[in-house]
Amino acid sequence: MPKITPCLWFDNQAEEAVNFYVSIFKNSKVGSITRYGEEGYEIHGRPAGTVMTVEFELEGQGFVALNGGPVFKFNEAISFQVHCKTQEEVDHYWEKLSKGGDKNAQQCGWLKDKYGVSWQIVPTVLPKMLQDKDAKKSERVMKALLQMQKLDIERLEQAYEQR
């Protein structure tokens, strides 16, 4: 068991969300499911037998999804970065994760999925471009980046090379 596992708090869609995420990422799986019992009903208010937690893995990263009720909501303070080598990967993850999500929360490679979870779909070449010692190159890339929702590797490379 890893020392740190992110836990995602859902109202009551944990199992649905896990199945959604596992359908998008190739190397993924659903693990064990824990159900609420009668004990603690006065605190959690969940009927016995309903899903409490779902363990799952996306590309080797373990997670737990919790049905904890409507007390807390996701926000952009926490997001998950998906590193993509190709535009095809960027397009795949962007299309799948943004389906049904908040269209107003899409900028600079960030998106919010239909459950309110924030994701950053990032080409692996982007950090190299932004960290280039030639400040003019990195500034051109940043200017191009700020004009995009879904990131376009070719347009970023054009800005980087000043083509």
Q: What is the pLDDT of residues 32-42, one digit of tens each?
A: 999 999 999 99
| Strands lying side by side in the sheet with 7-10 | 7-10, 61-67, 51-58, 28-35
CATH of the domain at 109: 3.10.180.10
Number of domains the chain is built from: 2
**What residue type is 100 in one-letter code?**
G
Please give the pLDDT value at position 105: 85
Query: What's the rounded mean pLDDT across residues 78-95?
Result: 98
Closest CA to 125 of 108, 141, 102: 141
Confidence of residue 163 (pLDDT cuts 50, 70, 90): confident
- Per cent of the chain over pLDDT 70 is 100
Across the chain, mean pLDDT equals 96
For residue 31, what are its two tokens? 């693990």
Please give the pLDDT value at position 115: 98
Q: Say if residue 15 is in the same domain as residue 61.
A: yes
Q: Say if residue 38 is in the same domain as residue 61.
A: yes
User: Above 90 in pLDDT, residue 1?
Assistant: no
User: Above 90 in pLDDT, residue 87?
Assistant: yes
Tens digit of pLDDT for each residue in 10-64?
999 999 999 999 999 999 999 999 999 999 999 889 999 999 999 999 999 999 9
pTM of the model: 0.93
Q: Say if residue 46 is in the same domain as residue 102.
A: no
Residue 1 in domain:
no
Q: Say if residue 33 is in the same domain as residue 83.
A: no
Q: Which domain holds residue 29?
A: 7-67
